[in-house]
Structure formats: structure tokens, C-alpha cells
Amino acid sequence: METDMTDVQKDRPWLIRTYAGHSTAKASNALYRSNLARGQTGLSVAFDLPTQTGYDSDHILARGEVGKVGVPVCHLGDMRTLFDEIPLEQMNTSMTINATAPWLLALYIAVAEEQGADVAKLQGTVQNDLIKEYLSRGTYICPPKPSLKMIGDVAEYCYTNVPKWNPMNVCSYHLQEAGATPEQELAFALATGIAVLDELKPRVADEDFPALCGRISFFVNAGIRFVTEMCKMRAFVDLWDEILMERYGVEDPKFRRFRYGVQVNSLGLTEQQPENNVYRILIEMLAVTLSKKARARAVQLPAWNEALGLPRPWDQQWSMRMQQILAYETDLLEYGDLFDGNPVVDGKVEALKDGARAELANIDSMGGAIGAIDYMKSRLVDANAERLNRIEREETIVVGVNKWTEGEPSPLMGEDGGIMVVDPAVEQEQIDRLNAWRAERDEAAVKAALEALRTAAKDGRNVMPASIAAAKAGVTTGEWASQMRAVHGEYRGPTGVSKAVSNKTEGLEDIREAVDAVSDRLGRRLRFLVGKPGLDGHSNGAEQIAFRARDCGMEIDYEGIRLTPEQIVEAAKTGAHVVGLSILSGSHIPLVEDLMERMREEGLSHIPVVVGGIIPDEDAKRLKAMGVAKVYTPKDFALNTIMRDIVTLVDAEAVAAE
């Protein structure tokens, strides 16, 4: 008998978001308002790297990074402009912010109060997950323990004052981007959740703790192996429920619900045949929407051209339409869970849970997530090396990359190259506005607010009230962060790349022989300096290059992220034979220009410089005109080819020297 579908109670769709922000607060505000008019149902704010790492737009490290990967927010005026004519009381706003999360939330609350909003009604999320920053994304400021304390400050403050706000979004997204296996993604994310709940438990009354557990949300990645990914989401649901029940005694199932938002995988988006990415994004979205039991509460999708550069508004709209078609045109939301009782799914879910539990026990034996940071980092670098090896060996097929590489040129790549380019003038305009803001504020009020903030941090009090007061007084992002640096110190995360050769040297014999031969000619071991100038913390590429170079027999010099061109040149003076730069934030032109100029001044022009990143063809020509020897982009996935290039470049120098 056919069921009458007119009486079916449809599920509500997930929140439809677009991760957006660029150039300036004013330009981003216009983008948000147009996205909301087109049917977006929540805001997802991308901040630029200086804002994420606690620097003002005029700081030396911010050079070339302002407005590139998100919106610069230096003070209350910027935040006011960002949400102009957007009623915050009615919004659900996700802010992808971590080290400066207390500060950006303070600015948001201050703007909401200016709008006359009831702060208790504000809804949204700050990511506020520092542990994954040490492992994969690199926008940390302070060491792990004080960072965990600040996560707790935000959660405790929100619980009392902004009860509908998610104060912490355990983010496994970047773990997968750094190469995590599904079991590692489950375990490392859940270990982070446990670390945060252990920090929070003593801060609230026992009867309030379950509700606080219920405010912790997750931000997850979904890759192309969509059956595994769907099972991973079901495993997340089960394991979080298990942890809250068994470890914390949370009785009410409502507070044990695994609530998550998702952006699907950017790591698998290809520069080659980029139109194929549309299908990848759709398939990956199915992993987090098909299973009602484990369905995402909010979804944001990358655009088809993100491996090429910044998407244009049309590209983002296209990804949003993908969500709307699935949510509103299909019958997906009319049914219960499609996979309950399926033996294949149940078997896979149990296997993933077993693997994750074993990894969790391992982390627990090291004192939990904070104690296991070095271990987790090295595991991610190893897993990513294995993933790349499989692509190089064609054990993993990537369409258009290592198989079926011949194709028609894409008509989507219009005259603008299929991407949006941020006007370099934006940086100076932002600095001018920042200077005007500083000139017009009450310096005595700023000084008093900073003193109160520093005292609160030093005394171990919750920093949120003092941060909100500082926001209203006109304090800047860099000034807020400098107080945290002064009290807690700075931190350099582990690189995950040891000096010892790995067990992945099979097939490298000919390159190792070539490295030995060149090293003999040089009179010492070929030394490769890998540097990450600027604030870009996406270190996967640099790590994998250093990892492979080491396995090929080179001496590697890799100190990790966030170096100035001056620091890299200083390191080059101590005997580098080749310098490799990795920049994925789009700031390659000003940073490489600065570095090449310094190399010339120091008499190091003979050392070849190679650059990798998301670099459009026109920019690659400009870099070569500056003297860069080789430019690599995501399409250059064959690491051994890059290694041979390096040997050839250094050999030419060695021969010339003879």
C-alpha cells in the first residue's frame, strides 16, 4: 500500500552557512547581507590571520596577510562595521576563532549591547579549540595550559551570561586536513573534549555540569570515502554519549547529544580539473546528511575553486544552492534513519569505535590531550605521509590528478582566472583606519582597561569581564593579545618532523644516491632550509617536503611556522644550500619580495629559492622575475619530482662553485 506523504512531518533542515569574510569589515558586511538575502540561514565568519594570531594590521608579521583569508578585526569599530544592520539577537553566528576567541566574543557582545540586544538571547559558536591549533592549523598564541584555562573562561562565562552560545567547538576538521585517519580524528577530537570538560568540572556546581556538557559542540570534516565518513559520524555520536555517561555520569540523554557542524574536506579539492570538485563536495555532504541519527546541525561547503584561490560570491552561492537542493527538493528529510540495523554499517561503526577507544586509552596514559600533543602531532605527520605515498603510488586514485589527467579546458575559468583577488591597497586602508581609531580613543581608559585585563589574567580570574570592558574602552586585538603573551608567555608548537629517517625510504634509492653525490661535491651534507614566512599556520605541505627531503638523505632545517623573512635569511646564513618557502595564505608576493631583497643584501643570491603555495599563474611569473628558481602549487603532488629539482638546483651551484 502506498503511503500518503501529505501527513509526513519533515525534519527541519540544518543551518545553511557559507564560511565568508575578506578584505575589510565593510566588504564582508555587504557579502553577509547579500548571502542572507539569498537564503543563507546562519553566519560563519572567517577572520584574517593577524586577527586569529593576535596581531594588529600594522604589525611586522601581519605584512601581506591583512584581509587575505578572512576579515581583519582590530577593535570595536571594525566589529561594529562587520555587523552593521544585521540584528545580532536574531542571528546564529559561528566565529572560526581560537587563540583570540575570548577577545572576539567580547567584541561581539559589546556590539550586541550597542544594538540593544538581550545578550542572554545571543546564539552562535566560537571555535575556541586550541589543541587542534598546536596539531594542525597553527594560530595558537600561548602555551597549552593557560590556553585551556581561557577555553574554560569562555565556557564558564557563557554558561552564566550567554546560555544559548556554544563556547567551544571541538574541531576535528583540521585534523583530517592534516592527514588524520578516521580513528585518529575520532580519538584526538574526543580527547580534546575530555580535556575541556575536565577543566570545566571544578568550575560549576555538580547539578549544573550536565547542562554545560550539552553546550560543547563539534566541528567535523567529511572526506570523499563517504560510507566510512558516515560511519565515522555514527561512531562520534555513540562514543560521545558513552564518554558523557560513563566518565561524567551525565544521565539526561539531551545533554549527551553529539551536536556538530561541518565543512567538507578541502584537502581533496584539486587544482587539476577543478570542476570535478563540485561532485566531490556533493558526495562529501551526503556523508553528514544521509543518516538522521548522525546528521549535522549546520553545514558550510567549500567552493569548487578553493584549490586555486579565494572563491568569488558566485562560487559561494553555487555551493549554497547545493545544500538548498538537497534540503528542499529531495525527500531526505521525510524519513527516519536510513541505516539503523544495517549489518555493514554497524560492523564498520564498531570497528571505528574500537580503533578510537584504543587510541584514546593511549592518549589517556600520557596524561590526556595536553600531555599527548607531541605524540599526536607526529602521528598526524606520519599518517599524511602515508596518504601522499598512496596517491604517488596510484594506490589511491584521484581523478584528474594521477588518473585520467587529459581533459577539456574548463569554461568556468573566466577572464578573472576563476577566483577573487584581494586588492593589495586594502592593507594600507585598514592600517589607516586603525591609526585613526587609536588617535580618537581615550588613552587613559585604554590604559586602565589593559591594566585590569593583565591583573585578571595574572590572578587566574576569568578574563571575559575584563575583556568586554577592554573592548568597550577601545583596546585593539594586538593589545589584548600582548597582555596574554606578557602573562603566559608565547609557545612554539611541535613540527612533528624528527631528524631521524623514517621507514618510508623504499623507492628513494636513486634520489638518495644523487643527494650523496652532490653532498660529496659540496664537501658536506646537502642542507635544505624549509621556511614558513608570515602567519600562515597550514604546515602540512612544509612538513611533508621536510619529511621527504630528510628521507632522501638531505640535512633539513625546519623550525615550524610563523617566521619573518628576516629570521629565514638569518637561518640561511648558517650554511643552507637551498631555501624552500611554503605560503598558503595568498601573501606570497610581498613576503617573497621582502625575502629576496634581504638575500641580495646579505650576499646570498647564489642560494636557490623555491616557493610552494596556492599561487595563480600570473603570480608565479612575478615570483620567477624576482629570482625564485621554482614555483610549486597543489598540482605538483609528486614529491620525488620536487626532490630531484632541488638536487639539480644545488648541483648546478656546486658545479659553478668548482
- Which has the closest alpha carbon to 141: 189, 175, 107, 103? 103
Burial class (CB in 10 A: 0-12, 13-18, 19+), 293: middle
Q: DSSP E strands: which ranges in 169-259?
A: 169-171, 217-220
Quick check: is 173 catalytic?
A: yes
Catalytic residue selected from 78, 536, 594, 651 = 536
Q: Minimal CA–CA distance to 21: which of 56, 98, 73?
A: 73
Chain position carrying cell 621507514: 503
535 by DSSP, 3-state: which?
Answer: coil
- Catalytic annotation, pick one of 59, 132, 532, 588: 532
Q: Does the annotation count 174 as an active-site position?
A: yes
Find the catalytic residue in 59, 68, 174, 577: 174
According to DSSP, residue 614 is labeled S
Backbone angles phi, psi at 134, to 5 degrees: -70, -30
Query: Across the beta sheet with 43-46, what order do the strands follow?
Result: 19-20, 43-46, 92-96, 123-126, 165-166
d(CA 251, CA 427): 52
Alpha helices in 25-97 (DSSP H): 25-37, 49-52, 76-82
DSSP assignments along 224-244, one per residue: S-HHHHHHHHHHHHHHHHHHH
What interhelical angle do 588-601 and 565-572 show, nearest 10? 40
Work out the end-to-end distance of the chain between its first and last CA atoms, rounded to an integer number of angstroms: 88
* Catalytic residue list contains 32: no
Specify whether 532 is catalytic: yes
β-partners of residue 210 are none
Active-site residue flag, 538: yes
Q: Looking at 173, 491, 558, 632, which residue is catalytic?
A: 173
Q: Is 382 a catalytic residue?
A: no
Active site residues: 19, 173-174, 532, 536, 538
